[in-house]
Chains A and B, each alone.
Chain A
Amino acid sequence: MTTISTPGIGTDLRGRRLPKWAPWAIAAGAAVLSYLAIYLGGLLDGGWVLTAVVAVLLYLVLLAAVATGVEGSRAARNRVATSLIYSAFVLALLPLLSVVYTLVSKGVSRIDADFFTHSMNGITAFDANGGAYHAMIGTLEQVGLAALISVPLGVAAAVYIVEYGRGKLATAIRFFVDVMTGIPSIIAGLFVLAFYVFGMYKFFNHGQGGYSGFAASLALVVLMLPTVTRSCEEMLRLVPDALREGSYALGIAKWKTVMRVVLPTALPGIVTGVMLAVARAAGETAPVLLVSGGFNSINFNPFSGNQSSLAIYIWDQAGAASQYAPARAWSAALTLVAFVLTLTIVAKLLARRSKLK
């Protein structure tokens, strides 16, 4: 009988392991070494970012060397790969934390009663007060209307593609939804500008074109529709066919199966997709700027007259060379993020509540 020897795998099941504290010790050592090299050794004119990067690289090299010596090469590769994955995670998280930190630290200065109750009517960029009330109304109305139009349309389109569509038409619709996903937002704005602002709007405004919040909603619909459709389609595809068949076998009609069995099963996922689309729409600036006109005063009516929105407000204030305007822009940015975050949390809670316990 011949035995096949596998390199690295002996008959002894236990191998030598590094003690638990070893990686931490190596990390600390790498940090100290890096600090010494950069600050005392005068290597480059570093700073803490370079120190951190060098420390991580040193840590990886040292860890690989020590682990290979003690535990063997397989265990060493495992340790290095694990460390790389953790570093990637931290690296991905850093920008997010940085954004949140910057927003909060710079944005809180103007979060006051004035900001939520006043518009910019009669206030120039160089005045201290002023608020974003008119912009909040604009964002709420525009995004709300856009969601009201695009969610039913998008869900219906997804239902068609997944449940009813057969053959060429369904394939074509899927293709165009994909194409729509890639449309730059400014193109959506230009489309609405030509189609609605200077086109359709004339028919009910005595032959005059005009900006309005609703035009902004239409541009947002063009942008939200493909996102909603695609995410909803993916969620519907995840619903097992066994559930559809179970429903058909009870003599339940197809449309009722879709409404009462398939859609409720896919609901949490659909809500997530819709929220992503809403979040994206709420932050859109270019198309809204093009078709809603922007405005310094309060306009509750989205269907007539210029309207502002938080995105426009941020753009407007951030660009003004004044000591007061940037603070207003940061506060508006913080408000916008808080608004999207609140909406997401509420939607998730609603979707979870509809699930049985």
Chain B
Amino acid sequence: MAKRIEAVGVTAYYGTFKAIEDITMTIEPRSVTALIGPSGCGKSTFLRSINRMHEVLPGARVEGRLTLDGNDIYERNVDVTAVRRNIGMVFQRPNPFPTMSIFDNVVAGLKLNGVRKKSLLDDAAEKALKSANLWDEVKNRLGKPGAGLSGGQQQRLCIARTIAVQPAVVLMDEPCSALDPISTGAIEDLIFELKNEYTIIIVTHNMQQAARVSDRTAFFSISQTGDPGRLIEHDVTSKIFTNPREKRTEDYITGRFG
């Protein structure tokens, strides 16, 4: 299920603005990789270029090579919906579909892609909600609107929705930044369980969180405003946080910069 992602010389633009430059890194399957760095350094741009979500904005494009288990996801005849089905994404703010019930939210990816069989959908919903540690809280009100849940529950609903389509990779763009510490703890536990089945990449501003949940950490930075973001260091998390190779990484982690 889980797949390897390889980025070679990835450079992303928004129109004429170069947001990230020459990112080269390999992300192993069944691992959690945290992307950290100051605001505007291109972590989110890199994350969004992995499932081609950045293309939603007009004028955005990517150079370089991004592969999923060796298959180039930017090749000409690649179907972007297939890429996104394999590489799911959880956003900063929970975004359940307001017109859909909890159940319909979870199976939206399946239903809208043509799965009709009720029994299949029921099973998928239960499995996804259980994986997202949400089943016990919502099993008696699956027909209620998803927007009626608390913020933390909504975010877990969005995670359930993402894993219901059984992707190979799950991208998370600051998934806990709008949540309280208890909900954050619940999501971190969940990430720890999910990595047995998925490749997970998480952008976070919270360095304790990066240290807690990730196996490897990548530090991005910019030299000054307007310059493209670059990958400064990518290593095992414990090494990044205790004995980084680069001075800039150390400065950032110890709070002297950024």
Contacts and interface: CB of A to CB of B under 8 A. Distances in A.
Interface centre among B88, B91, B98, B158 (most CB of A within 10 A): B98
Interface residues of B, number: 32
Interface stretch (B9-17, B19-27, B51-59, B193-201): B51-59
A264 B101 CA distance: 13
B161 interface: yes
Contact of B81 (A242, A251, A265): A251
Give the interface SS of chain A, mostly helix, strand, loop or mixed. helix
Interface stretch (B35-43, B67-75, B106-114): B106-114
Contact of A265 (B93, B98, B101, B113): B98
Contact of B144 (A248, A251, A264, A356): A356
B104 to A, nearest CB: 9
Interface in B74-101: 81-86, 88-89, 91, 93, 95-101
B145 interface: yes
A251 B97 contact: no
Contacts of B93: 242
Contacts of B121: none
Given A260-B112, A356-B144, A249 B89 contact: yes
A165 to B, nearest CB: 11
Interface in A223-273: 240-253, 256-257, 260-261, 264-265, 267
Given A166-B58, A242-B91, A248 B84 contact: yes
Interface centre among A245, A246, A257 (most CB of B within 10 A): A246
Given A256-B112, A355-B99, A246 B158 contact: yes
A110 to B, nearest CB: 45
B2 interface: no
A252 B109 contact: yes
B162 interface: yes
A252 B113 contact: yes
A250 B112 contact: yes
A38 to B, nearest CB: 57
Q: How large is the interface on A (under 10, 10 to 19, 20 to 34, 35 or more residues)?
A: 20 to 34
B53 A248 contact: yes
Contacts of A264: 99
A247 B97 contact: yes
B81 A249 contact: no
B165 A251 contact: yes
Contacts of B89: 245, 249
B99 A251 contact: no
Contacts of A242: 91, 93, 95
Contact of A247 (B98, B108, B143): B108
Contacts of B84: 248-251
Query: What are the 7 closest A-B residue pairs judged by CB atoms, nearest first?
Result: A251-B85, A250-B109, A249-B89, A242-B95, A356-B145, A264-B99, A246-B95
Interface of B: 51, 53, 56, 58, 81-86, 88-89, 91, 93, 95-101, 108-109, 112-113, 143-145, 158, 161-162, 165
7 contacts: A243-B95, A243-B98, A247-B108, A250-B162, A261-B99, A356-B99, A357-B145
